[in-house]
Chain A
């Protein structure tokens, strides 16, 4: 069983389109994240949700809108895609943020290419 699964794995789309990436975790975790890995492999957090509530938003353009229908899902919707949005987007999850045993588990990534 895949612990953190995200779809689609590959996505090629034109500038200006709107697209979504879905993420689901079956680990029973309370916290979910979206990370962005750029072409230079640099990883940076975008959002964090705890029990469906937004707790971290790292100066991401408002074209990016995360949606958490329940604590097992955190979807990422991107409006008006730009070339610079091309990247690998990783979903992740962890237990309660305050837990000392907190390890973050990553999904397999979604390769987004904007042309």
Chain B
């Protein structure tokens, strides 16, 4: 069965620091990969997604992620974080199946940006 692992459960950093969140998945077939963000008390919002093509994907709010197929990874990066980036970040995988598809989520990484 497919799975998604996020190695860091909690990350604390200061404003202007660079952020990288790890995401690895286990699935042998073709995947769609996503990063969602959940701000405190809010719903999940899509940051970016990878379906095909350029493995370096740019999303909203200055985030980007790189799909490395050989490493089964889809790490999220932001060069300079802001206090407003404090949130929970979820990596997710989607397999397109004839009978339906579902997002499989990683366990999330809680990011706290200190002002």
Contacts and interface: CB of A to CB of B under 8 A. Distances in A.
A109 interface: yes
> Which 4 residue pairs are nearest across A and B when measured between Cβ atoms?
A55-B100, A108-B43, A43-B105, A106-B44
Interface stretch (B18-26, B68-76, B91-99): B91-99
Interface residues of B, number: 28
A100 interface: yes
Contacts of A55: 99-100
Interface stretch (A44-52, A69-77, A79-87): A44-52
Contacts of A58: 102
Nearest to B97: A97
B27 interface: no
Nearest to B38: A41
Interface residues of A, number: 28
Contacts of A50: 100
A12 interface: no
Interface in A73-115: 90, 94, 97-98, 100-109
Interface of B: 32, 34, 36, 38, 42-46, 49, 51-52, 88, 90, 94, 96-105, 107-108, 110
16 contacts: A33-B102, A40-B107, A41-B88, A42-B107, A42-B108, A48-B101, A48-B102, A55-B100, A97-B99, A97-B100, A98-B96, A100-B52, A102-B96, A103-B34, A107-B43, A108-B43
Contact of B105 (A42, A48, A97, A108): A42
Interface string A16-49: 0000000000000001010100001111110010
A56 B36 CA distance: 22
